[in-house]
Structure 1
Amino acid sequence: MKTKLINLLKQVFPSTYTELAVFLFFLTCYGILGSYIALHYRIIFDSRIPWDAYFSFDNKAIVMTGGSFERHPLAYYFFNWVREFSLLISGGKMDTTFRLTLAWLSNTAISLCMVQIFKYLKNITGLPLTISLLIILFFGAFSTNIILSFTPENFTYTLLLLSIYNYYAAVKIKRDEKMPGSALTLAGITIGGLTITNLVKVFIPVLFEKDLFRSWKKFGNAVFRVALTMVCFVFLYLLRIDFKYENIFSKTNQQYEKFSNVESIPDWDMMLSYFFGGSVLFPSFMTTDKHNMKGFDFKGLLMEPYSSSFCYAFIIGLLALILWSYFKNFKNKLMQILAISFLIDIVIHCIMRFGLHTSYIYGGHFVFVYPLLLGWLFNSYRSHQKTLSFLMATMVILLAFLLANNLFRMSDFFQFLETYYQ
């Protein structure tokens, strides 16, 4: 038991000097950003603003309740701990120190996520240090990671948990080991508990266990582990709502109708600008008039579709690399796990159109797939120097554009804060 705990800690936290350097680098960069926002502006947590202050995040509602039970069934318990810890640090006041604590919890979570992605690139795909660092810098500059690094939201911790789980699962699959029932159950409760649609992602690695469909014994064992996870999850979910299961269906239908019937922008543009793009590369922003339904009016910030052909070219280029990686590594089980995970979100948001008009906020559910698929692309050409050089040059160009664009857009974000949230 002690050995397993030590191995788990080594897997979640930095275990080498290089991993520690990656963690401290992002902790410092994100920490400076989040600390400045928490100390000078009230947007991270304002008791008067329950939702939609920026990019449709629900900061106050999430911190106070964990969010709606039909989409975030067990988040209530997790955010009770987050809120109580932050109140402990702030002396029971929801003030600047409270905001600062929330920001640093988010900062730590996203920085640990960077460590998980770096571990995967280094230990699973076996990339050289230079390429791993290039990809992790590229990933670290994603708009989702920048925003979530100071935002107390379900997406922040979902991104961390999914990154941890995918690295853990990759280690198991690479060693031809099965996913332990305890790990499946823990992942199902935590990942599915924060956002229910991610529950199915927990079971994807089980499909790729060695000889699963060639042995009735192994298949039966897998069914038992999945069933055990589902039973534990469903019981805790029903316990959370006092076993009033009929509320789940009515609330879910309401949410789907609310977030799936927006026709203001063509679907293809919302897919490129918001789903595939907005979670990586900031578009321009627009302000909107909001109210908290209790007499308080405030300004909100939303993303617009891309207005520059360079932005569309960036996203199309990135997607081309992702597709290249997919077809090049089609027979790779670990790559298929990532692709299926990504496909689930594509179906939910692009095909079913749930929240497609604000799908950039769902980046915490899938953006970790981008750097890992890029890692597999580099891995497949590790002995082809010319192609490797081309990929390196392409990544450097993409990174330069990403940094320039996202830093410029963050200046717009700070102008918004200066105007409305001092």
Structure 2
Amino acid sequence: MSTFKKKFIDLLKIIFPSTGIELIIFLFFLVVYGYLGSYIAIHYKIIFDSRIPWDAYFSFDNKSIVMTGGSFERHPLSYYFFKYVRKLALLFSDGKMDGNFRFALAWFSNIAVSLSIVQVFKYLKNIIQLPLFICIFLILFLGSFSTTILLSFTPENFTYTLLLLTLFNYYSALKLRNEEKIPALALVVYGIGIGGFTITNIVKVFIPVAFEKNIFKNWKKFGNAAFRIILTCICFILLYLNRIDFKYENIFSKTNEQYEKFSNVNSIPLWDMILSYFFGGNVLFSNFIITDRNNMQGYEYKGLLMDVYLSWVPYLFIAVLLALVLWSYFKNFRNKLAQILMISFIIDIVIHCIMRFGLHTSFIYGGHFVFIYPLMFGWLINSYKNSPKTLSFLMAVFCIMFAYLLTNNYLRMSEFFSFLNRYY
């Protein structure tokens, strides 16, 4: 077998289910999310309505994303990706933007999110090497998050960012575990893909490079790493500039405009937006608010947004969630793979909580980091594998949290369907 063929087969094994249990997990989520997305696509217009460019539910920009890929200053290369998504969906619907078109869009999202969950399972099973039942429990936990539920039928950049980031984290963890460097081609491809969907995420592609073996002790290895990073940046920048016809001055004006638009919201206390929207809204649905919207062309419609939490119970849930993540981080501080996950998470915290970019709608950014939670829980469980009492305590806490998560998100989704029945 040629080297190229072997590498290609290995790549397919990483991306797609490669064992029986992985296939079962993939099919399970494909069926569950597929039923949800198919029902919404067939019976309602909210997934894609040509009259509604943005904010029909939870600030997702469905039509805008499908038709243009989103604003170039935040999603510089997604235009090219969604052009083919749109063409495939239109091929399925015989050129009509009808229920079949929405059905295709929902299933593209479904496949992406289901594959993302498989990537998390692979990380838990093959990298952390947890027992099978714990791996399954943690991915069921992840699969019940508000972000994964919503992205499973929503055509958005964050849907595919979730897939690429989970895939890259698993791929880079395999490389680092085997004390191998991340090849230049792989770094370029992931950099263009991940950064192309959301520009700030390109930094996350470079984090594992800093943890390659002896990279700061060997000048040759350091130089090679610098070359790979610079090459990735050059390729990305050239594609980015080509996307905007090399009118680079537009980047600064549009970026500043977007920052001002999405960073100056003072109606809700900062701490509450951080807990309810950034840390909480991606996991645990909060209360909903129905708003009046218009498409700037005379068409008025209803939008659905998340409110802050109104009970002390969700705040307690999020506090425990964060306490467990921090516990895992300090317990695994010397673990370079856990460090990579947390540094990646910290980047999102800086952007949204400190710089306050989009903090009031940060419940939609979950695809950038929500998978960190089950992975850090996995590292925490692994660190206490020889301590039965602590392990039993952790599993008891996770079970209580999982039960509350399921109950809350089920009830909130029933409210979401009530909204659909009334307006869509």
1:308 Cα shift?
Answer: 1.1
Report the equivalent of 1:226: 229
Q: Aligned equivalents of 1:395 and 1:23: distance in 2?
A: 23
Deviations along 1:36-71, whole A, 9 cap, x unmatched?
A: 000100000000000000000000000000000000
Correspondence for 2:152 among 121, 128, 149: 149
Amino acid at match of 1:44: I
| Aligned residue runs from structure 1 range 118-137, under 5 A | 118-137=121-140
Q: How many residue pairs end up in the alignment?
A: 421
Q: 1:212 aligns to what SS in structure 2?
A: coil
Correspondence for 1:328 among 331, 349, 355: 331
Deviations along 1:132-164, whole A, 9 cap, x unmatched?
A: 111111010000000000000000000000000
Amino acid at match of 1:213: F
Q: Runs of 4 or more off by more than 4 Å in structure 1? A: none
Q: 2:207 aligns to what SS in structure 1?
A: helix
1:81 Cα shift?
Answer: 0.6
Alignment of 1:260 onto 2:263 = yes
Correspondence for 1:94 among 75, 93, 97: 97
Deviations along 1:368-405, whole A, 9 cap, x unmatched?
A: 11110000000100111111111111111110000000
Deviations along 1:87-133, whole A, 9 cap, x unmatched?
A: 00111000000000000000000000010000000000010001111
Deviations along 1:297-343, whole A, 9 cap, x unmatched?
A: 00000000001111011100111100000000000000000000000
Alignment RMSD, CA only? 0.4
Report the equivalent of 2:41: 38
Report the equivalent of 2:217: 214
Deviations along 1:179-219, whole A, 9 cap, x unmatched?
A: 10000000011000010010100000000000000000000
1:226 Cα shift?
Answer: 0.4
Report the equivalent of 2:8: 5
For structure 2, the 5+ residue unaligned runs are: none
Q: 1:287 aligns to what SS in structure 2?
A: strand
Correspondence for 1:204 among 204, 207, 228: 207
Alignment of 1:341 onto 2:344 = yes
Alignment of 1:84 onto 2:87 = yes
Q: 1:302 aligns to what SS in structure 2?
A: strand
Report the equivalent of 1:114: 117
Q: 1:272 aligns to what SS in structure 2?
A: helix
Q: Aligned equivalents of 1:191 and 1:283: distance in 2?
A: 29
Correspondence for 2:286 among 268, 283, 300: 283
1:247 Cα shift?
Answer: 0.1
Q: Aligned equivalents of 1:398 and 1:139: distance in 2?
A: 12
Q: 1:214 aligns to what SS in structure 2?
A: coil
Q: Aligned equivalents of 2:14 and 2:190: distance in 1?
A: 15
TM-score, structure 2 as length reference: 0.99
Amino acid at match of 1:388: L
Q: Aligned equivalents of 1:162 and 1:45: distance in 2?
A: 25
Alignment of 1:178 onto 2:190 = no
Q: Aligned equivalents of 1:188 and 1:213: distance in 2?
A: 22
Amino acid at match of 1:396: C
Identity over the aligned pairs, expressed in percent? Answer: 70
Amino acid at match of 1:335: A
Q: 2:302 aligns to what SS in structure 1?
A: strand
| Aligned residue runs from structure 1 range 273-312, under 5 A | 273-312=276-315
Q: Aligned equivalents of 2:54 and 2:269: distance in 1?
A: 26
Report the equivalent of 1:386: 389
Alignment of 1:165 onto 2:168 = yes
Q: Aligned equivalents of 1:25 and 1:315: distance in 2?
A: 27
Q: Aligned equivalents of 2:150 and 2:332: distance in 1?
A: 31
Report the equivalent of 1:407: 410
Q: 2:235 aligns to what SS in structure 1?
A: helix
Amino acid at match of 1:400: A
Report the equivalent of 2:245: 242
Q: 1:244 aligns to what SS in structure 2?
A: coil
Q: Aligned equivalents of 1:28 and 1:402: distance in 2?
A: 21
Q: 2:305 aligns to what SS in structure 1?
A: strand
Q: Aligned equivalents of 1:92 and 1:201: distance in 2?
A: 38
Report the equivalent of 2:358: 355
1:225 Cα shift?
Answer: 0.3
Q: Aligned equivalents of 1:364 and 1:135: distance in 2?
A: 17
Q: Aligned equivalents of 1:387 and 1:22: distance in 2?
A: 28
Q: Aligned equivalents of 1:277 and 1:297: distance in 2?
A: 30
Q: Aligned equivalents of 1:73 and 1:40: distance in 2?
A: 33
Q: Aligned equivalents of 1:140 and 1:344: distance in 2?
A: 23
